Structure 1
């Protein structure tokens, strides 16, 4: 039986359907377009990579309708095996409980994410947000935590307060690769990794957009990838392409897949790479629907 292959970070958007803060037409011109599951399926086929399944991650902070939209599309595109959605984490107890209970009835719903860049510093410390994280913990759902190097300390803080909440750091917290900043990021990443309920997504798009966009090379990214593997262990590292964001630097799906593989070759076994590119995502998110083989 073939080993499962999962891309744990995929985005779709319809610029006419929802009000997006990002992408912006004047700055992210390469991705200021509509992206749907059919385009993702085409990208997988064109790449020639073994990846067959994707997990959608929210893009819009202000409406649960995006989550419902993707859950509906996933019924027609079997390659979408999970949805990390959004609800108002600062809503009332009744509102939060009602939405989580409703969404949890769908086996494709896996957990939540909120774009912290759009909030004031310390948003994740709000009592309402902490209450919702507690609800996720009790319901056995996940939380994708979207951080930057300056806010990476929140990963360990949340993990300590909610030891049974499965928590995953998106984009390696977007280290400042172009500026050569490493030590402070590495220290906080190691601290987060000391909590066994914390995982990390090895998202090449989250790195190539922070490296030199014109001439990035896998060797530029390798120290960051390998530090994560060393700190978390291969069993808590998960591949994500961040489709279609890698198009911002003119990259293809095959290029970001191959770049991560190159970064992993001399620090992992073949068995571990198989887990990073599939089995770890299935285990972390507890994917419930059949995977495309």
Structure 2
């Protein structure tokens, strides 16, 4: 049983994705039905949709679209991590609307696509604090050199549950780096952070990686955070840059050989269900 905490759906007929024009092989539709067909064969039983950096005017439309898909019988969708703009004066009103919708489980603002000082702004930080003691999580997607920016936000908000996406986005194809390793160890000291075991196949050499390429990155994250603070995500369709969904699931199972059933279950589904009360 796998709980996929990181599914992206791309439907260019419904929504606008300005970044796709420069996204190479990802500049295509990646529809729910294509994901679900493969996911169900692989033992994925539940998934959360992760925002796909749609045009700002489409942020709430994206949530509505995913929610409409979740009404189909037998679907895997259990909720959404929605996009947000904490740097905007409109954020408080948006937050109130989201809190009224139990389908939305959290927010993400990708920080490596904006200037570093965005997350340092007074309004951004004031608005982020509004998530404290709510049911909403906040996904942090940062590059290794931005870990200090993430730590600053975490330290200012001990009442928010943060999720560090994609093992902290290491440059897997370049091998282990001290900056990434030490950054992961530093973030893991904050007990209100969970790390997402995802994304690493997309950062590897697409033509020349194996489970042993990924192992030091996955194992360092798990060793740093512990089995109670790790969750799994596919990062579909981005994972297809390094194979396909089946490839990443198979690599995950291979990497987990030798761990206990309890440890595996915590990573695969129990921690995610606890985090989002599912």
Do both proteins adopt the same fold according to a TM-score greater than 0.5, normalized to the shorter chain?
yes
Residue 96 of structure 2 corresponds to residue 96 of structure 1: no
Distance between the aligned counterparts of 1:182 and 1:285, measured in 2?
A: 32
Taking the aligned partners of 1:84 and 1:116, their CA distance within structure 2 comes to: 15
Q: What residue is the counterpart of 1:74 in the other structure?
A: 70
Superimposed CA distance per residue, residues 95-132 of structure 1 (whole angstroms, 9 cap, x where no aligned partner): 32322221222221111101223211221111111122
Contact 1:5 1:279 in 2 (8 A): no
Matched-pair contact (CA < 8 Å) for 1:28–1:248 = no
SS in 2 for 1:23: helix
Instruction: Choose from 202, 227, 248 the match for 1:256.
Output: 248
The DSSP-based 3-state class of the residue aligned with 2:133 is helix
Aligned to 2:8: 11
Cα distance in structure 1, aligned partners of 2:47 and 2:155: 29
Please, what is the CA RMSD of the aligned residues? 1.7
Q: 1:231 aligns with which of 224, 227, 242?
A: 224
What is the number of residues matched between the two proteins? 274
1:217 aligns with 2:213: no
Match of 1:269 among 246, 260, 263: 260
Q: Secondary structure of the equivalent of 1:116?
A: coil
Deviates more, 1:11-20 or 1:188-197: 11-20
* Pairwise CA distance, 1:90: 2.0
1:171-202 CA-to-partner distances (Å, cap 9, x unmatched) read: 11211121123221111101100010001100
Residue in structure 2 matching 1:207, options 200, 211, 214? 200
The residue aligned with 1:178 is 173
Q: Which runs of 5+ in 2 are unaligned?
A: none
Q: Are 2:49 and 1:56 equivalent residues in the alignment?
A: yes
Contact map agreement 1:84 1:109 (CA 8 A) in 2 = yes
User: Does the aligned pair in 1 maintain the 2:49–2:81 contact within 8 Å?
Assistant: yes
1:43 is aligned to: 38
State how far apart, in whole Å, the 1-side matches of 2:119 and 2:64 are.
24
* Counterpart contact for 1:238–1:277, Cα < 8 Å: yes
CA deviation after TM superposition for structure 1 residue 68, in Å: 2.4
Q: Give CA-to-partner distance per residue, 1:253-293, whole Å, 9 cap, x none.
A: 22101212222324x32111111111111112233xxxxxx
Q: Deviations over 1:219-267 (max 9, x none)?
A: 0010010001110001111100001112223x1222101212222324x
**2:35, 2:152 → 1: CA distance?**
35
Structure 1: 5+ residue runs without aligned partners? Answer: 288-293
1:201-230 deviation per Cα after TM superposition (whole angstroms, max 9, x unaligned): 000xx2122111111111001001000111
Query: What SS does the corresponding residue of 2:15 show, helix, strand or coil?
Result: coil
Partner Cα separation in structure 2 for residue 5 and residue 209 of structure 1: 20
The residue aligned with 2:184 is 189
Q: How far is 1:148 from its partner?
A: 0.6
Shift of 1:27: 4.6
Q: 1:22 aligns with which of 19, 33, 36?
A: 19
Contact 1:199 1:232 (C-alpha < 8 Å) held by counterparts:
yes
